[in-house]
A and B are shown apart, each in its own frame.
Chain A
Amino acid sequence: MNRSQSNRGTSRHVLVLLTRISLLQASRRLRAVLHQSRLLTALIVGFIMGYVVLSFWIFHKGLTFVEQFPGLGPLLTERMIFLLFAFLFVLLLLSSLIISYTNFFRNRETAFLLTLPIAKVQVFRWKSIESTLLASWAFLFLVAPLLAAYGLTRGVPWHFYAVTVVFLSLFIVLPSLAGSWIAVGLGRFMDRRVFQVCILAAAGVFLAGAVFWWRAETVTDEMLETRVLEVLDRLLVKTQFANFSFLPSYWLSSGIQNWAEGAFTGAVFFCMVLLSHSLFFGYLSFTRMGDPFYEALSTVQSRGSVLGRWTWFQAWQQRRASARRMRGPLELVFGLCFWLRRDTRAFLVKDVRIFWRDTSQWGQTVVLFGLLGVYILNLRHFSHQLSNPFWINLVSFLNLGACSLNLATLTTRFVYPQFSLEGKRLWIVGMAPLGLRRMVLTKLGLASCASLVVTLGLITLSCGMLHVATPRLAYFALAVVIMTFTLNGLAVGLGVLYPNFKEDNPSRIVSGFGGTFCLVMSFLYIVASVTLLALGAPWSLGGGGGSLQTISGIAGFLLLSLLLGLFPMILGFRRLAQFEI
């Protein structure tokens, strides 16, 4: 047997071994989750099933509604599908980039494998496959109900669903590969500081571009009634980019659509386009990326700042080094909070500093806020076009739901893992006079204040875009303040109840049982709260404030918020009292 044959054999052998180990570990994790609590497991499974059924129902209703537009239905449906997959392509790319970066350069298994007789390219292959699976499962979860609804609306044969799986499998390869390549490039050429500058600049450019491209244009009632085609034409022009024929999302959408319409030759063509690109770039990735990957890993693990080559930066670093014994800007800011004790202030400074320095954490926030920016800017369209009070009411409550869902994402992703992230360092605080109880309260206070800035800003901005009257804005603002404290209490309380001190990676902590439970509870709370607030709004009955419905709606919301915010905290404190550091 020659050397290359032997290497191919070894490569397969290594991949089989690693797959076996991963499956074994995954099955044990799943079993551990199932053993935690049958009730909670059932709740999470029920939530997931509920999501699938509900989203299928919404997609089906929406697609059926759009399809009924005389002469325009199929055209609009087509554009919606193209647009959706174009956005999902970008999201999948970003998700792959973040997961690949963490998986390549911050994963202890990667370093372990590189000390074993495994070729660099094999380690890269394994980590790429792992990142692809981690990045794309949510995508598949998201599009499955949509495609099922699309198939049902179009009355497609059974084989459409089987072919769709093939299309999706080929499609996810491309953004995943691109994400892994960009991650290697970032690792090789950017350190934290350069990355921070770049990500903020990119977010700014993206937001400015979105503002320019999707700027609101006045659509008068007259235009809507008499010149529907012109309005539609504008819409299609604005979304034309989704039909750019070099986008993989275009190949996917075209393939699926062709198959649904029975144009099998066209579908096979697009399938072949996807296949050939996946194979070509996959081959490049699986055979040529070993050295760049290793180069990037070595650079990440051994880099001083790239900026350090420039003299102005060196001088600035030296000034900073000499000033380090003095108070930094964060100390000065928190120093203004004179009512806080010194140890509490020190703890707050530590938490903010660590968050800022972990770019992968707030990098994801920038992405989230970029999307929110686009969402808020688009609210202007509603204010231009809605005159019926029912629709204004509905949209303003949906907006409250959207702001709260954003808050729930923030609290689950960033607040829930805070206690676990203290990890092996928990003793530092546990043994200090600050104590664990006050530490948890400090975290709650910091998270609530930071969230309030976000949520109050969002609700004010979005209500302003919708031209919501001041009393109603005050109602929404008050509601969102209460929801902020509740969701933070829930996240902090559950974070203490289900700690994971073994993980340093917050996204892995969140993906555990407690994090999933926190997300499910937050979503259920938001759905219940928005419903209760809509029922309890003084204007919901046409000015019938003071009615039984108003009182019960608001009282129900307050009671629910109190229970859900306080109960996990009480349980968490009980747990803390028995905590062994």
Chain B
Amino acid sequence: MIELVNLQKRFGDLAAVDGIDLAVPRGEFLAVLGPNAAGKTTTIRMIAGLIRPTAGSVAVAGFDVQTDPLEARRRMAYVPDFPFLYDKLTPAEFLRFTGELFDLSPERIDSASSGLIERFSLGPYLNKPIEGLSHGTRQRVAIVSALLHDPEVFVIDEPMVGLDPFHARVVKDVLKERSAAGMTVFLSTHQLSVAEEMADRIAIMHRGRIVAIGSREELREKSGAAGALEESFLALTREEAG
């Protein structure tokens, strides 16, 4: 579903992403971990088509993001760490707007959004201006709007920022359910517990490269560190840093 081939991105002299090869199959939940400036967000921005790779390619659902961007984006949803929402609209208006941009009929928008609105407890906020909502509520609106068109691929950067424990749980549940139903999830986070709990595979990025990828056990094996994911993470990134 997501295929990165020799993906590279240079910012002047700095190689932010340095030759990543990665395939995430349909229905897989991949969590990407890494220290600051490891290249996670840059990779995500290339998958979302916001920046052009210096070399290599990204394909989403079989469509190259650079050469066939519309087909790729129709099948994808992207939620950044600080999502953009129109401040003067209400969540209801914003959801209708994004639904229409994906060419969904009003009936489909209603049916797709009603369940999500209930699960994400957005009912009381639906007709209030977005500018007055808290960061967590805005994040929930962004996630619901991204799920409306039932994407095949869901790319999300730091989904739990600003969410209370209850709604963080809801996000985890919904993403897990969708993933089980066939949606591919590419999640970037600093929260090791989120990756540990949710991901089928975990990729650890450092200095623009994937230094390890696999299940929790495979990472432990590769790092040679016993115990929690934190130990493996520290061992893998420290080793690279040295």
Contact = CB atoms under 8 A, between A and B. Distances in A.
Interface string A23-45: 01100110000000000000000
Contacts of B48: 114-115
B13 A111 contact: no
A302 B9 contact: yes
A298 B86 contact: no
B70 interface: yes
A302 B45 CA distance: 10
A115 B9 CA distance: 19
A303 B9 CA distance: 10
Interface of B: 9-14, 16, 42, 45, 48-52, 69-70, 73-74, 78, 83-84, 86-89, 93, 97-98, 100-103, 129, 131
Contacts of B88: 24-25, 28-29
Contacts, number: 80
Contact of B102 (A29, A111, A112, A117): A117
Sorting the interface of chain A by its residue count into under 10, 10 to 19, 20 to 34 or 35 or more gives: 20 to 34
Contacts of B14: 304
B13 A304 contact: yes
A134 interface: no
A25 B103 contact: no
B73 A117 contact: yes
Interface in A270-315: 294-295, 297-298, 301-305, 308, 314
18 contacts: A10-B103, A17-B100, A21-B89, A21-B93, A21-B97, A25-B86, A109-B84, A112-B83, A112-B84, A117-B73, A117-B101, A119-B69, A294-B52, A295-B52, A301-B51, A302-B42, A308-B12, A502-B87
SS class, residues of chain A in contact with chain B: helix
Interface of A: 10, 13-14, 17, 21, 24-25, 28-29, 108-109, 111-112, 114-120, 294-295, 297-298, 301-305, 308, 314, 502
Contacts of B70: 117-119
A298 B54 CA distance: 10
A303 B10 CA distance: 8
Contact of B52 (A29, A115, A298): A298
B52 A118 contact: no
A21 B90 CA distance: 11
A287 to B, nearest CB: 16
A303 B74 CA distance: 28
A119 B100 CA distance: 15
Nearest to B94: A21
A500 to B, nearest CB: 11
Contact of A17 (B50, B89, B101): B101
Contacts of B84: 108-109, 111-112
Contact of A14 (B73, B101, B129): B101
A304 B9 CA distance: 11
A21 B87 CA distance: 11
A520 B26 CA distance: 60
A14 to B, nearest CB: 7
A302 B52 CA distance: 9
Contacts of B12: 303-305, 308
Contacts of B100: 13, 17
A308 B11 CA distance: 10
Nearest to A28: B88
Contacts of B69: 119-120
